[in-house]
Amino acid sequence: MESLWEAMGQEDFGRDERLPYWVEVWPASLLVCRKLHEERARIAGAACLDVGCGLGIAALVGSWLGARVVAFDYEPQALAFARVNAALNHVPQPLWTVMDWRASALADASFEYIWGGDVLYEKRFFDPLEALFSRCLAPGGEIWLGEPERTVSRPVWDRLARRGWQCDIVLRDKVAQGGQNQTVRLWRVMRTS
């Protein structure tokens, strides 16, 4: 990641400070992958959405387990690497698409399962993600969000609960990254009504 940052000029950042976060496999994504493996019988054949997929590790695991995965990221370069990852690992290619969750082009109620690893790292993403979840999650569907224990995302869970979502921690573990262990939680989010 550091070499990409060093090669970037000011013009590369734009209004969204487009840092190359997608170049790392984040611990939160690894916990999402564990959940997908635990739920393999449920996701097999199901329409699933990977939000902010980055290098596509969770999308690949879901596809390998038989899910029909649509995976999107804001960065086209991330999806190019994800596509190569799928080919190198002989995994059926998810449907990769460049998209911004603030203006998604997804059909209403079209996904039984939605997941994301470490997507709540900025407060400005809370409302657009909640709107995407509200619109795209099929009735009875579930959302699985891997999230390191960060101060910035603490308020989102109460906020979602006030808006009619049930939010439960279903996994918590220390995941290794860069020689250190990071505590990561996996939240299950479902509609209460």
**Statement: residue 66 has pLDDT above 70:** yes
pLDDT given at position 116: 96
Confidence of residue 8 (pLDDT cuts 50, 70, 90): very low
pLDDT given at position 17: 55
Q: DSSP letter for 178, please.
A: T
Q: For residue 144, what is the domain's CATH number?
A: 3.40.50.150
How large is the average pLDDT for residues 59-80? 95
Q: How many domains does the chain have?
A: 1
**Statement: residue 160 has pLDDT above 90:** yes
Judged by DSSP in three states, 47 sits in strand
Residue 175 backbone phi and psi in degrees, to 5 = -120, 135
pLDDT given at position 26: 73
Whether the CB-CB separation of 94 and 50 falls below 8 Å is answered with yes
**Statement: residue 89 has pLDDT above 60:** yes
**Statement: residue 55 has pLDDT above 60:** yes
For residue 185, what are the β-bridge partners? 147, 172
Question: Of 19, 38, 4, 21, whose CA–CA distance to 118 is shortest?
Answer: 21
**Statement: residue 20 has pLDDT above 70:** no
pLDDT given at position 27: 85
The parent domain of residue 11 ranges over 2-191
Side-chain half-sphere CA neighbours of 46 within 13 A:
24
pLDDT single digits (tens) 99-156:
988 888 899 999 999 999 989 878 888 999 999 999 999 999 999 999 988 888 888 9
pLDDT given at position 13: 46
